[in-house]
Structure 1
C-alpha cells in the first residue's frame, strides 16, 4: 500500500507534530506512515482522512500485484 499523506499534510501546512496531535498518535507514527513503514488501522485511516477533509482512498492506494 502506498500513500500521499505527506503531500496532503504539506498542502495544509501542517507539521507532523500537529497532525499527530489532531489524530491522537505520536509523531513517529505519522513519520512511519509517510515513509510506508507502517500501515495504519482502519480507525486511524478514517481519522486522518476526516482531519484532512478527504476520503481514505484519496490518501491510501493499493499497489498493483506483480
Structure 2
C-alpha cells in the first residue's frame, strides 16, 4: 500500500467515512506478515549456517 493510500485511509477514518479495513487492521496484518517473513528468514539462515558448519567439519576431518 502506498503512503498516499495510507494517508487517505487515515483521513477517512478521522472523518468517520471508513469503507474498508481500518488502518489498525492493516497495520496488524502487515506486522503479522513481517513477523512471518522474519521467522522464515531466520529459519533459512540457521539452516544455511548449520550446513556450512557441517561442511567445514567434514573438511577438517578429511584433512586430519
Which of the five TM-score ranges fits, normalised by the shorter chain?
under 0.3
Question: Please, what TM-score do these two structures have when normalized by structure 1?
Answer: 0.25
> Could you say which structure has the higher helix fraction?
2
Structure showing greater relative contact order (alpha-carbon pairs closer than 8 Å, 6 or more residues apart): 1
Question: Please, what TM-score do these two structures have when normalized by structure 2?
Answer: 0.26
Q: Which of these two proteins has the greater Rg computed from alpha carbons? A: 2
